[in-house]
Structure formats: C-alpha cells, structure tokens
Amino acid sequence: MLITLLAFEIILMILTMFTTHMVEHKFEGIRVSLGMYCSKRAYKTKADIDFIETIINEYKRLCSDTDEEPDLPSAISLKLHKEYIGRFTYVSIKNIAIKVRYLMWGIVGIEILIAGINKTFYTTVTLVIIFLSLLLTLAMCFYGIIKGLNEKQETLIDEVTHYIKNVYPLEVQKQKKAAEVISLEKRRREEAKQEERQEESNQSHKLDCIKEQESNIKEKEKKKEMNQSSGLSAQDIEQFLKNL
C-alpha cells in the first residue's frame, strides 16, 4: 500500500511539473502576441493574437460606453480565466499546478497513518518510503515557490495593461503617421508623373508646331520656285517670237 502511495506521489509530481509548464507556455504565448499585434512584418494567425485583440476591443467598448476609466486589469484577469490550454480550461490547469501539492501532503499523512496502524513505522522500508514521499512533497512546494505562477499571472496582467494603455496608442499613432507619409509620397509621385506627362505633351506639341512651320516654309519655297520657273519660260517664248 505504501509503495502504491509513493508511486502516486511520483505521478502527482510529474503532473505538477507538466501543468506548470503548460501555464508558463500560455503566459509566454500572450507575451509574444503583444509584440505581434501591431507588427506588420510578423506573421500571425487569428489564434496568435486572439487574446490581446479581444481585450483591446473590450477596452474600446468600455471606454465608449462610459466616461469613467474601465477596470482593465479585472477585464484581463476575467479573459485569462476563460482561456483554454489545449482542451482544458486555464483555471483547471493552474489549479492542478498549484494545489496538487496539498494532495501530496495528504498522501504523506496517509502513509504515516497506515504505518502507525500497521505498527511498521520504524521499519526501514516504511521510513524510506515516507522519507521519499516527504522529500518529493517538499520539492514540489519549493518548485511552486520558485515558479510563482500567481506572481507571474499578476506580472502578465500588468504587462498587458501597460501595453494597451501606453504602447498600443503609440503604435497606432506611428502607423497613422506612416500611412500619411506613404499617402503623401504617393501623391507627390502622381503629381510628378502628371508634370512629366504634361511636359512630354508640351514638347510633342512644340515639335509638331516646328514641323508644321518647316513644312509651310518648304511649301512656300516650292511655290516660289514654280513661279520663277513659270516666269522665265514666258520671257523666253516672247523673245523667241521677236526674233522671228
């Protein structure tokens, strides 16, 4: 029976470490989404930014519905507790990571109780099993203190609050300015292209005028030459007739 309880202790220890890692991974994913949300270069899916996008939209709605400053940390905490880690809720995973150690203490107490009832408390095997169970339980307590999931959750809420109130408005303002600069640059390029097209049109018109003038001059010269040629022929005929 004691060996079974010890094996159960080991299973609980592994479960505690695994669920703690799952919660930490969730925290890290939310932190990464903060950097992704306003970045146009970062590849992101709807799931990647769903948490921060929902909070921002909720914050905007609350700000528009009331003149008072909404309680953003409580909204973030509520949204976080409604999140899922895989198929399980965030609350259930976190409770396992934090509260399983209390169950481990209960198993140690049961082991001591069984050893006292069976009067095997001072046997070597019993002492080793109880010592190992106690050691595993204390290790998980220290592990929980070091990981500090509650403190990390509070820190995460502060980070998200800071991002929404301070960083996000600046990012939006920067994007608006960048869009205005791009729009102005496009407008300048269009105006420059129009000026170039107008200049090309003017140059083409000037060339056409020059060609037309040259054509008129040539035509006049031809007419003049024809007139001169016609006049000389008449004089030659008249002189010829006089000579006759």
Contact 104, 137 (CB under 8 A): yes
Write down the pLDDT at residue 224: 67
Q: Tokens at residue 138, please?
A: 């204390």
How would you class 197 by CB atoms within 10 Å of its CB: exposed for 0-12, middle for 13-18, buried for 19 or more?
Answer: exposed
* Cα–Cα distance measured from residue 185 to residue 187, given in angstroms and rounded to the nearest whole number: 5
Write down the pLDDT at residue 30: 92
* Cα–Cα distance measured from residue 45 to residue 42, given in angstroms and rounded to the nearest whole number: 10
Percent of the chain, pLDDT > 70? 90
Report which of 59, 104, 55 is spatially closest to residue 82, judged by C-alpha positions.
55
* Cα–Cα distance measured from residue 235 to residue 243, given in angstroms and rounded to the nearest whole number: 12
Report CA torsion sign: 160, 162, 166, 170: negative
Write down the pLDDT at residue 58: 87
* Cα–Cα distance measured from residue 9 to residue 105, given in angstroms and rounded to the nearest whole number: 9
Write down the pLDDT at residue 232: 46
Using DSSP's 3-state secondary structure scheme, residue 85 falls into: strand
Q: Where are the domains of the chain?
A: 2-183
Tell whether the model's pLDDT for residue 244 goes beyond 60. Answer: no
Write down the pLDDT at residue 44: 76
Banded model confidence at residue 241, pLDDT cuts 50, 70, 90:
low
Least confident of 98-112, 114-128, 195-209: 195-209
Average pLDDT over residues 22-30: 94
Name the H helices within the chain.
2-37, 46-65, 72-81, 90-118, 124-147, 149-162, 168-243
Q: What is the mean pLDDT of the chain?
A: 84
Please indicate whether residue 1 or residue 230 has the higher confidence score (pLDDT): 1
Report CA torsion sign: 40, 44, 46, 50: negative
Tell whether the model's pLDDT for residue 213 goes beyond 90. Answer: no
Which single residue is written with the structure tokens 């481990």? 104
Q: What is the pLDDT of residues 107-128, one digit of tens each?
A: 999 989 988 888 877 788 889 9
Please indicate whether residue 13 or residue 174 has the higher confidence score (pLDDT): 13
* Cα–Cα distance measured from residue 3 to residue 1, given in angstroms and rounded to the nearest whole number: 5
Please indicate whether residue 244 or residue 182 has the higher confidence score (pLDDT): 182
Phi then psi for residue 88, to 5 deg, are -110, 150
The DSSP 8-state label assigned to residue 70 in this structure reads P
What is the identity of the amino acid at 187?
A: R
Tell whether the model's pLDDT for residue 178 goes beyond 90. Answer: no
Write down the pLDDT at residue 200: 74
Q: Tokens at residue 95, please?
A: 């409770």
